[in-house]
Amino acid sequence: MKSAMKLLLVFLALAGTCASAWADHGHVHFGISVGPYWGPWYFPPPTYYYPPVVVERSSPVYVQQQPMLEAAPQTSYWYFCRAANAYYPYVRECPAGWEKVLSTPPGQP
C-alpha cells in the first residue's frame, strides 16, 4: 500500500511538471503532454485589426479675381490765394476764396 501511495505521488509530481494549460476564447484547457513537443506552449492571442483610415478631402475652391482697372493718375493740388498771393498752409485764411492749382507746372513730369 505504501508503494502504491509513493507511485501515485511520483506520478502526480511528474504530471504536474508536464501539465500545460491554455485559454482559448474563455475556455481553459488542461492536458498532460507525453513525449517531446516542439510546438508553442500557448495559443497566440486573437488578432484584432483596426478599420482603415479614411480621409475625405473637399474639392479645391478657385476664386477668380476681377481684372484690375487701370486707375487714373492721381493729381495733387495746391490751394492758392490771389488776395494774399501765397499758397496754403502759408496763409490760413483767404477772403476771396481758394483757387485750385496743379502741384507741378503742366510742362514738367
- CA-CA distance, 91 to 76, in Å (whole number)? 19
Residue 106 lies in a domain: yes
**Is there a domain that residue 10 lies in?**
no
What are the beta bridge partners of residue 63?
none
Range of the domain at 89: 76-109
pLDDT at 50 over 80: yes
pLDDT digits (tens, 9 = 90+) for 12-36: 766 655 445 444 455 655 666 666 6
Count the residues in the chain. 109
Residue 99: is its pLDDT beyond 90? yes
Nearest to 87 by CA among 102, 70, 75: 102
C-alpha 107/C-alpha 105 separation (Å) is 6
Residue 33 lies in a domain: no
Model confidence at 40: pLDDT above 90 = no
Residue at 98 is within a domain: yes
Instruction: Name the nearest CA neighbour of 78 among 99, 96, 92, 93.
Output: 99
In a domain, 1, yes or no: no
Whether 49 maps to a domain, the answer reads no
Q: How many structural domains does the chain have?
A: 1
